[in-house]
Structure 1
Amino acid sequence: MSSKRPSHPKPIPFIVTGAIVGFIVFGVVSLLGPTTDEGYNITYDPGTALGFMSVVGLCLGGLVGAVVAALFTYRK
């Protein structure tokens, strides 16, 4: 009998994929969302909104990718 250890997934591809997906999703949301806040009479620059939402998407997507990689590594 061979005592091969189960291979664990590498976390970096999961994190990078999650960050890219988050960047795309939050970028689309920022481009399709409203550019004004009616309650406070504020107008948002679409480029600024895209920048902020992209950073949030990168961070959240990377975090989700890291959690998925950790779950695959943890399974028995």
Structure 2
Amino acid sequence: MRPAPPRTPHFLRFIVTGAVVGFLAGAIVSLVGDSATDYSAGSQIAFFGVMLGGIGALLAGLVAVLLERRR
């Protein structure tokens, strides 16, 4: 009987999921918060979405690394 291969997290799935969740959170923050008169709603969604999407991707990557090192 062969030993089972070690289970490791799929880093790309973690990172993409974190980026999508972060983008959605940024979009919600921009829609719920006070609107700036200088920028359109689309610009605010893009700005906060990209910002929080990057942070979400970094945090999800960190979680994946920590899960892998734990094994």
TM bucket (normalised to shorter chain) is 0.7 to 0.9
1:31 equivalent to 2:31? Answer: yes
Of the two, which has the highest radius of gyration?
Answer: 1
Equivalent residues, number: 71
1:9 equivalent to 2:9? Answer: yes
Higher helix proportion? 2
Shift of 1:28: 0.3
Q: TM-score, normalised to structure 1's length?
A: 0.79
Q: TM-score, normalised to structure 2's length?
A: 0.84
Q: Which runs of 4+ in 1 moved over 6 A?
A: none
What fraction of aligned residue pairs are identical, expressed as a percent? 37
The Cα RMSD (Å) is 1.9
**Alignment gaps of 5+ in structure 2:** none
